[in-house]
Amino acid sequence: MQLTVLPLLADRMDEKFDVFEVFLKTLEKNETKLEDGDVIVISTKYISNSQGRIVDIENIQISKEGLDVSKKYQLKPEIAEVVIRESDKIFGGIAGFVITSSDNIMAPNAGIDKSNAKKGKVILYPDNPYLVAEQLRRKIFLKMLIHVGVILVDSRLMPARIGTSGVAIACAGIEPVLDMRSKKDLDGNPLKVTFQAVVDNLATIANHKMGEGAESKPFAIVRNSGATLTDRKISSFEMAIDPDQCVYVRGLSNPPKNQ
């Protein structure tokens, strides 16, 4: 079955707004109808904007810890301060770029973003992204009587690669990971790789078509994804590995001798 990805042009919104209402309008403007089983991918920036999650960094009080992080990683003190407030843990970093984790999402600079924000302001990650996704899914069901999956997407970098892919910051109504442990390969051997990152993979291709710039395509519909829809509540623990178990986080700090 052919998978399709359809990005949707939407209005630029400057004040807080209702994402569900704007999504309905956007479907109409794009002359598109949702179908049962569709997966709706939405930019976290758009969700953050809808929540007014924008900080005026010029008025921020800087703590001792903020100054330390600012110096060590050559970030503006105001940015370092916001990064600390928004993250549970800082793993490390390079100049201008700190690797943090918050609500089980590993992200550069706690996901805060200066692009697509007015001067002197930064956009933070959404509040309660799983709740946002779940509410949207329910409203769509009540209005249209169809089951859909919802994914909130941000861009991310990959180890040793140039350019951004996508990552699911939250989801609702869709099984986030496909467990293939019971499946066999072509020779009947157990598979080496046993899980498929379903929502991250759908997030990646949707994000790719949504673009990053002035196009304003904050929504995309992924059709015939093959993903399993569900009514159960999804938690952030289902997609995230504890960094202590992560092959990159642990493996990269465990080099062989003589290197």
Coil, strand or helix: which one is 169? strand
- Residue in 39, 55, 79, 99 binding its own copies, rule: CB under 8 A: 99
Instruction: For residue 17, count CB atoms less than 10 angstroms from its CB and return exposed for 0-12, middle for 13-18, buried for 19 or more.
Output: middle
Instruction: Convert residues 201-240 into a mask of x (bound to its own copies by CB under 8 A) and - (unbound).
Output: xx-xx-xxx--xxx-x---------x-----------xxx
Question: 177 vs 160, 222, 240, CA distance in Å?
Answer: 24, 16, 10
Restricting to residues 124-143, name those near its own copies by CB under 8 A.
none
Sign of the four-CA dihedral 156, 159, 163, 166: negative
According to the binding rule CB under 8 A, does residue 62 interact with its own copies? no
Of 25 and 184, CB closest to its own copies: 184
| Number of residues counted as binding its own copies (CB under 8 A) | 91
Of 146 and 157, CB closest to its own copies: 157
CB 142 → its own copies: shortest distance, Å?
27
CB 138 → its own copies: shortest distance, Å?
26
Restricting to residues 108-127, name those near its own copies by CB under 8 A.
108, 113-119
When computed from its CA atoms, the radius of gyration of the chain, rounded to whole angstroms, is 19
Residue of 72, 69, 114 lying closest to 89 (CA atoms): 69
Instruction: For residue 72, count CB atoms less than 10 angstroms from its CB and return exposed for 0-12, middle for 13-18, buried for 19 or more.
Output: middle
Of 23 and 46, CB closest to its own copies: 46
Of 69 and 124, CB closest to its own copies: 69
According to the binding rule CB under 8 A, does residue 196 interact with its own copies? yes
Contact 134, 144 (CB under 8 A): no
According to the binding rule CB under 8 A, does residue 83 interact with its own copies? no
167 pairs with which residues across the strands? 154
Restricting to residues 168-187, name those near its own copies by CB under 8 A.
177-178, 180, 183-187
Contact 91, 17 (CB under 8 A): no
Restricting to residues 14-43, name those near its own copies by CB under 8 A.
none
Query: What is the C-alpha to C-alpha distance for residues 90 and 88, in angstroms, rounded to an integer?
Result: 7
- Residue in 9, 12, 28, 56 binding its own copies, rule: CB under 8 A: 12
Of 9 and 143, CB closest to its own copies: 9
